[in-house]
Amino acid sequence: MDQNKGNILWVDDEIELLRAHVMLLTGKGYTVVTATNGDDAIELVRSQNFDLVMLDEMMPGKGGLETLAVIKELSPSLPVVMITKNEAESLMEDAIGSKISDYLTKPVNPSQILLVCKKFLEGKKIQSEQVSRDYTQEFSAISRMLLNPMDYTEWIDLYIKMAGWEMELDKHPELGLKRMLADQRKESNAEFSKYVERNYQTWINTKENRPALSTEIIEKFVIPNLDEKKSLFLFVIDCMRLDQWLVMEEYLREVYSIEKQYYFSILPTATPYSRNAIFSGLFPLELEQRYPDLWQGEDDDESSHNKYEKELLIKLLERKKINLKPEPKYVKILDTEFGRQIQSNILSYTQNRLTAIVVNFVDMLAHGRSDDPILKEIAPDESAYRSLTNSWFKHSSLLGMFQALAEKKDVKIIVTTDHGSVRCLRGSKVIGDREASTNLRYKFGRNLKSDDKQSLFLKNPKDFKLPQRGVTTNYIVAKEDYYFVYPTDYHKYLNQYRDSFQHGGISMEEIILPVITMEPKRG
């Protein structure tokens, strides 16, 4: 063979009886060095570089486990496959505890040996080649899908596929396919924006042949899961994309059975609108008209619009004629210290039939990355942003809560979000008066003007069930990955906000959102 596929050290006191296997591996392109005892094996590991060790468990002098311990001290990451005649479970546990990579019992056959060598020495390459072939086929399939009109279920399926491929390609950066996927996602978002623009007004005025919307989360996913014998928890993780949930889900599969469904956020895909819609079951205009004291007027500060989510939830349940005793518990977690307090007390909430917990950290992460050059350096793209989400979640009070609740059998958990976020890469020039809102992905104000290819102009807000905010007020909502920039100091702000994660507009990442139902497996 012209190319060495890997260097193998095979340690066995009866190595002469294994010459046929050694010759097989040599013929397949591997370099095999042999040793007949543990001391020689250790000296070889000290003096040469190996990619894999095949280690006999029963040898005179230094035994397999003893040799393994020294090899692991010398080279902790070197994979070691233990080979033994002994099938005792206790020996297997000792070997696994000593960090072996795999375990074979004698007599070994050629296919076993070849398979284990391919697994450790060519596995990454073989997987990468398969991933490359599979994605190339998927790319073509998605491109064909985009040529034809799609309904909302097909858009959900397409987005799930793309999110899945993003996660898969994170594991294979050497393939160089991320640019290809990013270009296809850009093309998909362009078509998705047209799709939403064509259909949104119909969706908000009918319940037929359309996705579930923010206003129906409680009605469709929470109320049907209320059970007198179980405690139901609703977690709303602000600004969570599907790919971020998939990162979190990795930590929960062992202890929860998990079911995912999907819904579409209302417009604008921003907290004052979408999260109030979740807790009230009302569109923003309906909320302002029905409960004007719970809709904070003209203030542009987003946080001021979400002060009354508990009250809105109680009123929604009253309208649905659902009377819970005790009344629903509501918690909003805005900082780490308070999150730890809730984590330590989470089991006390199982006395309630319904507990709603809003977690703001993911939203803070998105805003923080926009404002903090260090965070932007740490998370320069979507892949790194997922990695940052992973780092937060595995040390978070949220994971601690999920882990604690997993020990309870009479618990069910609904996890969702109010909107996602999109990485904004293109600026869109907007003109408006001084009173216009400052949001980057949507704006309301008078005399707003922008490119209709880059934004959706909502001339009459009431037609979109949005508060009028004045006779001449209009809204604009950014499409795809655009963000709004005023002509004044255009280039300064264009550069300042380019490559930031924002929300409020129309993209698959902001609109297509998961609703996760989890039940503890122990239950």
User: 452 is written with which tokens?
Assistant: 């209709």
Q: What is the pLDDT of residue 248?
A: 97
Cβ-contact 46, 75 below 8 angstroms: no
Same-domain check for residues 283 and 387: yes
Burial status of residue 103 (CB atoms within 10 A of its CB: 0-12, 13-18, 19 or more): middle
Strands 426-431 and 7-11: unpaired
Distance in angstroms (rounded) separating the CA atoms of residues 454 and 431: 14
Same-domain check for residues 377 and 430: no
Question: Nearest-CA neighbor of 172 among 134, 132, 133, 140?
Answer: 132
Q: What is the mean pLDDT of residues 264-275?
A: 96
Cβ-contact 523, 350 below 8 angstroms: no
> Residues of the chain with pLDDT > 70: what percent?
95
Same-domain check for residues 363 and 469: no
Among 24-38, 76-90, 181-195, 487-501, the minimum mean pLDDT is found in 76-90
Between the two ends of the chain, the Cα-to-Cα distance in Å is 55
113 lies in some domain: no
Q: What is the pLDDT of residue 232?
A: 97
Q: What is the mean pLDDT of residues 492-516?
A: 94
Checking if the pLDDT of 94 tops 70, the result is no
Q: What is the mean pLDDT of residues 243-248?
A: 96
Among 76-80, 97-101, 261-265, the minimum mean pLDDT is found in 97-101
Same-domain check for residues 515 and 488: no
Same-domain check for residues 455 and 384: no
Distance in angstroms (rounded) separating the CA atoms of residues 81 and 24: 18
Q: Structurally, how many domains does the chain consist of?
A: 4
Q: What is the pLDDT of residue 105?
A: 85
Same-domain check for residues 416 and 432: no
Most trustworthy range by pLDDT among 102-106, 368-372, 399-403: 399-403
**Model confidence over 151-168: pLDDT tens digits?**
999 999 999 999 999 998
What crossing angle do the helices spanning 178-203 and 152-170 adopt, rounded to 10°? 160
2 lies in some domain: no
Cβ-contact 113, 28 below 8 angstroms: no
Same-domain check for residues 199 and 148: yes
Among 238-247, 380-389, 411-420, 467-476, the minimum mean pLDDT is found in 467-476
At 331, give phi and psi (nearest 5°).
-135, 135
Among 24-28, 269-273, 298-302, 362-366, the minimum mean pLDDT is found in 298-302
Determine the Cα angle at 138 with ends 132 and 143, to 5°: 125
Residue for token pair 């104000």: 445
Among 8-17, 130-139, 208-217, the minimum mean pLDDT is found in 130-139
Beta-carbon contacts of residue 170 (< 8 Å; ≥ 6 apart): 383, 386, 387
Higher pLDDT, 198 or 380: 198
Q: What is the pLDDT of residue 300?
A: 47
Cβ-contact 273, 282 below 8 angstroms: no
The secondary structure element, H or E, covering residue 355 is strand 354-359
Count of other CB atoms within 10 angstroms of residue 368:
16
CATH code of 311's domain: 3.40.720.10
Same-domain check for residues 88 and 24: yes
Q: Which domain holds residue 42?
A: 7-108
Checking if the pLDDT of 302 tops 70, the result is no
Same-domain check for residues 438 and 378: no
Q: What is the mean pLDDT of residues 34-54?
A: 95
Q: What is the pLDDT of residue 279?
A: 97
Determine the Cα angle at 177 with ends 175 and 183, to 5°: 170
CATH code of 34's domain: 3.40.50.2300
Question: Nearest-CA neighbor of 135 among 194, 90, 178?
Answer: 178
Question: Which of 168, 203, 238 is the endpoint of a domain?
Answer: 203
Q: What is the mean pLDDT of residues 27-35?
A: 94
User: 192 is written with which tokens?
Assistant: 């998705």
Same-domain check for residues 267 and 400: yes
116 lies in some domain: no
Same-domain check for residues 245 and 312: yes
Q: What is the pLDDT of residue 95?
A: 62
Same-domain check for residues 316 and 464: no
Average pLDDT, the chain: 90
Question: Which of 108, 137, 156 is the endpoint of a domain?
Answer: 108
Question: Nearest-CA neighbor of 430 among 504, 373, 364?
Answer: 504
Could you tell me the pLDDT band of residue 249, with boundaries at 50, 70 and 90? Answer: very high
Distance in angstroms (rounded) separating the CA atoms of residues 133 and 256: 33
Question: Which of 173, 203, 233 is the endpoint of a domain?
Answer: 203
Q: What is the mean pLDDT of residues 286-312?
A: 76
